[in-house]
Amino acid sequence: MKRTTRILFLLLLAVGQPVLSLGWGGLFHRAVAEAAERSLSPKARAEIERYTQGRPLSSHATFMDEVAADPRYKEAFAGWHASIADSTCQSPAEVRERYRKSRDGVTAAEWITEELKNYRALDDSVVLTYIKCLVHIIPDFHCPAHVRYTDAHNEGKFDVIFFDRKILLHSVWDQYLLAHVHPDWDDMRWADRLCETPRREMRRAKKGSYREWFEDVARDVRISIDWVQPGDTLRDDFLKQAAPLADRELRKAAARLTETLERIFGE
């Protein structure tokens, strides 16, 4: 990371900006963070609370969205909300460098984790900022609308009709899809749901590196590119396909955020 970017990173605890809907909507970012926090070991939780001063992780889950529009932070976070895979769903460093100049979620998570190897030697505010970023980045690269491919476009930046509402497909994936399935659930109820994930499924999801986690998501999500065309009306048929996919990736995100924090603060 360039020196100027590092300097900007040290300033990230300035006042927040209005929340933007990037990646999973705020509801699901908070739910993943809450589920992960509930699953932490006592040691990891105690270490993290030293920096959060007892505030729940869910209160930090949308930090990267809150400052996304602030010009002071654009360079520091540029590209971190999405990651890229090639046509075979692989995401080696050379692909990330060639197509995104290594400005992607996987590379960001790798860099932050490397920085946190000696987190006790860092300033507390810097560690807290890194925690805030990981809490957001790990779920983001599990969001179908935030997977990029070198040979296809699936950002969903076109309008569809989702149950009589005209909206960007990107926003459908980010927040409206699963909220439509359970319209009365808040972030705590969604966290309950994520914590009900079978242990075998969680153990399987936790294995591997950031790159391997993202490649797993890229393989899962690839099929959805052909499900929707601009202007389509999306109703029950789409919901039956898309909701289980989004729900599965959300469960993986919660398990993998837990594992991320354990590897850094629990060992």
Q: Reply yes or no on whether the pLDDT at 218 is more than 90.
A: yes
Q: What is the CATH number of the domain that holds 260?
A: 1.10.575.10
Residues 6+ apart with CB under 8 A from 112: 130, 133, 134, 137
Chain centroid offset of residue 114 CA: 19
In a domain, 99, yes or no: yes
Cα separation of the two ends of the chain = 26
Banded model confidence at residue 23, pLDDT cuts 50, 70, 90: low
Q: 152: which DSSP letter?
A: B
Q: 174: which DSSP letter?
A: I
In a domain, 87, yes or no: yes
- Alpha helix (H) residue ranges in 80-209: 93-100, 105-115, 124-140, 169-171, 177-181, 187-195, 199-206
In a domain, 90, yes or no: yes
In a domain, 161, yes or no: no
Compute the distance between CA of residue 257 and CA of residue 205 in angstroms, rounded to an integer.
10
In a domain, 163, yes or no: no
Selection from 48, 115, 60 nearest residue 261 by Cα = 48
In a domain, 48, yes or no: yes
Judged by average pLDDT, the poorest of 151-165, 191-205, 243-257 is 151-165
Compute the average pLDDT of residues 188-211.
96
Compute the distance between CA of residue 132 and CA of residue 126 in angstroms, rounded to an integer.
10
Supply the pTM of this predicted model.
0.90
Element spanning 243, H or E:
helix 236-265
**The total number of structural domains that make up the chain:** 1
What is the predicted pLDDT for the residue at 71? 81
180: helix, coil or strand?
Answer: helix
Compute the distance between CA of residue 257 and CA of residue 230 in angstroms, rounded to an integer.
33
Selection from 247, 259, 261, 256 nearest residue 24 by Cα = 247
Which residue is associated with the tokens 């926003």? 171
Compute the average pLDDT of residues 201-215.
97
What is the predicted pLDDT for the residue at 2? 42
Domain of residue 87: give its range. Answer: 3-151+252-265
Compute the average pLDDT of residues 14-21.
35
Q: Reply yes or no on whether the pLDDT at 251 is more than 80.
A: yes
DSSP readout, 38-72? Answer: HHS-HHHHHHHHHHHTT--GGGGTTHHHHTTT-TT
Compute the distance between CA of residue 215 and CA of residue 96 in angstroms, rounded to an integer.
12
In a domain, 141, yes or no: yes
Could you report the per-residue pLDDT of 114-140, keeping only the tens digit for each? 999 999 999 999 999 999 999 999 999
Share of the chain above pLDDT 70, in %: 91
In a domain, 177, yes or no: no
